Structures are given as structure tokens and as C-alpha cells.
Structure 1
Amino acid sequence: MTLPRGTAVRRDAGLYGYERALARHGLSPVAGADEAGRGACAGPLVVAAVVLPEGRRGQVPGLADSKLLTAAARERVHAEVVARALAWSVVVVPAAEVDATGLHRANLQAMRRALWTLAVEPAYVLTDGFPVPGGPAPGLAVWKGDRVAACVAAASVVAKVTRDRMMRDLHERWPEYDFAGHKGYSTPVHQEALRRYGPCPEHRFSYVNVASAVRGGAAPAAGDDGSSAATAGTTYGPGPLRADHRESA
């Protein structure tokens, strides 16, 4: 899908250029959606959707693509986003569901759920990189959207902070994998832990490196109850201006 006829966003328009251009055509509010954990081989996929208000309140101090921020900066920006947003939501897709559904399909389903569960109905949707059909409003996939559209950058921060908190919790349960350090991505430390201990229930068994660890003879490590620590399809998000809400991750 393309922007409405006559809508133009200048390259130097800044992080809020898309929202301002759409608002001039009566398309406000605008929701942004993004995910965290797409490339990880362990832990959940986390998708967030955010609707920022127009004007000064919607200009979040320090907002940027979550990958460009330090962990401390992400926490500060996350607090500002959830305090200022008209609405936001988070959907958590456990590793087992990613395996069963397929990564891209699980991602699309989670993005649709995050957008549909926003307490404020958007007039337009911006997503990072690929289109999300079946959303609550017309939308556009923006290349590197988390770097050029404020609402997408805000969603990227909410998704990343939520997932990092969850991975730190998983580290307490399975410290041998150092989930708090690499957040489930395939670093050398993580690969060595897979080789030594085999995968745990929070690994994505459809991923080549995890499947190889199983074939190598390492038995999956079970949790206390033998089940996943994440909750399938969990959705978080407040109503309008619920600044006091905190995720349960």
C-alpha cells in the first residue's frame, strides 16, 4: 500500500515527518508496530503497537530506533512512551508457538493482534519493513521504519524493553545459557551453551542451530514443570493515557 494521494514526506522531515504528513490529510492518530526477537533462537517473539498523540506531548525525549539506544536509554524512553502514548499494546508469542506457526506468520498474527487491541482506533498504521494486511486501518510498510517514523520507533522500544525484561527472568530460571547477556541470540557464548547443555523449552526447535544441538545428542533441558515459561499469545496494553500501567513481563 502507498501513502494517500498527495501525501509527501521529505527526507529531512525528521522522525515525526510521517505522522505530520498523514495528519495534514486527516489521518490521525497513527499507530506504529514493530517486533523484537525475530532473529533470536530462544525466547519469545514480542510485538508492540503504539499510538502517540499529536503535538508536543507526542514528542518523546530521546526517542530513536531501539537498536541505536543503550539499555539504560531504552528504559528511560520506554517510561516516556507509556506515559505519553494515547494507547499501546504488547503481544508475546512463546518460542513453541513460533515453531508451530512459523516465524513470519506468527509475526503477522501478533502485529494484527497488537493493532486490533489498541484502546484507541488508529486512522492509519505504519509498520517496519513489511506490510501487515488485515489491520484496523489502512497502512504502509516503511523501510527502516523504526528509524524514520516516531510511532514505529516507539513500538520498537516497547517491544525491545519488554522482551529484554523477559529474557532476564528466563536467565534466573536457566542461568547456564546466559539469556540475560545475549537475549537469546546466537552468540558464541550461546552456541557453546547449546553444545554443552542442549536446548531448554525456551529455545526455538525449528531453528537450524537448535535442531543441530538436539541431533548432536544433547537432551532438551526441562523447566521445573517441564513447560514453557512464556504465556501463549499474551497481550498487554492500557486504555487511553494509562500512564501507570506496567507490563507483567
Structure 2
Amino acid sequence: IDEAGRGPLCGPVVVASCIMPLDDDKIIYGIDDSKKLSEKIREQLFEKIKETAIAFCIEEVDEKTIDEINILEATKLGMKKCIENLKVKPNLALIDAVKNINNSTPQIAIIKGDATSYSIAAASILAKVHRDRLMQKLDAKYSVYNFAKHKGYGTKEHIELLKKYGPCEIHRKTFIKNFFK
């Protein structure tokens, strides 16, 4: 299990879980931490992972929930849903760094798990590509913010646009409050 989008100023945090086969003929070469891969490679691997996975789940936790319960608890909520909504129930959940998901499935939190675990790396790709695609779609609705370019992260450009136009409904109010003091 891994997430994408804990740090951006807007949009959901996206969590993905996947159970990958370990048969030699089903290993997908090139899977790695999504942050180490180009967008083009992530897109290619995204489709291969969905086709090959024994089971996978992608969950979004929206910015309103993030503002209500905080980003860590929102991430844990998404992770819990990802375990519960897998079509095949895992015997063990390998989770990138986050501990104590409120779920009865045994769990191991692995620091930098997206760089050391095949399944966590695959989940990181699913989460990242799903979130990037979502932010590209949201760019059409909120084009003044240029979400397609920075995906909601706090780039200099995004902060300047945020100050110029003010927040839109998908901005995380708790993440941007310091820009408006």
C-alpha cells in the first residue's frame, strides 16, 4: 500500500493497494518507486500493473476530509479502505512508512517501502498516475491554477496563482492558511 498527494496544496490524497504475482513469467520489470520514474514510464507501468495484479484498489480521500481530520489520518483512512476493498483479502499488508492502520489485517510499515518492496512500488505507481490524471482533469475546471503542470504541489507558480486568484473549492484550507495572513 502506498499513497500519492500528501504534500500538495489541493486535491485528494490517493491511496493504492495491490497484490502482485511473484511468478517469474508475471514479474513486471522496471517497477520502482514512482518518484524515480518518468511520467511516460509510470503511465506504461500503470496499465501493466492493472492487467497483471491479482487484485488492486485505488481510493481517494478528498480535501475536505483532509482538512477535517488531517493528512495523516486521511491517508490512514484511504489505506484502510484500500485493504477492505481489495477483491482478494491479503494475509499481510505491506505499507509504505505509515503505521497503525485501523484494520484487522496484520501490517508491516516499511520506511522507503516504495523503493524496497515490489508490491509497494507497484502501488506507488497506481496512486501517482491516478492522482496525476485526476489533477489534469481538474485543470480543465480550474484552468487559472495550471494544475496539469504542477499537480497541486506548492510550486512558486502555484503559490503566485493562489495569491492572485484566491483558493478554489479543491484547495486544502489547512494547507494554504499561511499564504493569506
TM, length-normalised to structure 1: 0.70
How far off is 1:58 after superposition? 4.1
Quote the residue 1:62 is aligned against. Answer: 30
Aligned equivalent of 1:112, options 75, 80, 84: 80
Question: Is 1:201–2:169 an aligned residue pair?
Answer: yes
1:66-77 aligned at under 5 Å gives the runs: 66-77=34-45
Which entry has the higher C-alpha Rg, 1 or 2? 1
CA offset at residue 143 of structure 1? 1.0
**Which of residues 72, 84, 95 in structure 1 aligns to 2:52?**
84
- 1:166-208 per-position Cα deviation (integer Å, ceiling 9, x unaligned): 000011111111100110000000010011001100100011x
1:139 corresponds to which residue? 107
Distance 1:128 1:153 in 2: 9
Partner in structure 2 of residue 37 of structure 1: 5
Superposition deviation, residue 132 in structure 1 = 3.4
CA contact (8 A) 1:34 1:48 kept: yes
The root-mean-square deviation of aligned C-alpha atoms, in Å, is 1.2
Which whole-Å CA distance do the structure 2 matches of 1:115 and 1:57 have between them? 26
Counterpart of 1:183 (choices 131, 151, 157) is 151
* Structure 1 gap segments, 5+ residues each: 1-32, 216-249
Name the CA shift for 1:134/1:97 in 2 (closer, same or farther; >3 Å). Answer: closer
Match among 67, 74, 92 for residue 99 of structure 1 = 67
Q: Deviations over 1:79-137 (max 9, x none)?
A: 11000000000111111111012111111111011011100111111101121333342
Q: Distance in 2 between matches of 1:114 and 1:57?
A: 26
Percent identity of equivalent pairs:
35
Query: Are the equivalent residues in 1 in contact too, given 2:76–2:98 (CA < 8 A)?
Result: no
Q: Is the 8 A contact 2:21 2:54 kept in 1?
A: yes
* Paired residues of 1:95 and 1:204 also in contact (CA < 8 A): yes
Give the unaligned 5+ runs of structure 2: none
Alpha-carbon spacing, 1:127–1:42, altered in 2? closer, same or farther (3 Å): same
1:90 aligns to what SS in structure 2? Answer: strand
User: In structure 1, how many angstroms separate the alpha carbons of the residues matched to 2:25 and 2:3?
Assistant: 24
Q: Work out which of the residue numbers 121, 128, 131 in structure 2 matches 1:163.
A: 131
- 1:17 aligns with none
Aligned-partner Cα distance in 2 for 1:133–1:185 = 26
1:211 pairs with one of 170, 174, 177: 177
Aligned partners of 1:69 and 1:133: how far apart in 2?
28
The one-letter code sitting in structure 1 at the alignment partner of 2:63 is A
**TM-score, length of structure 2 as denominator length:** 0.96
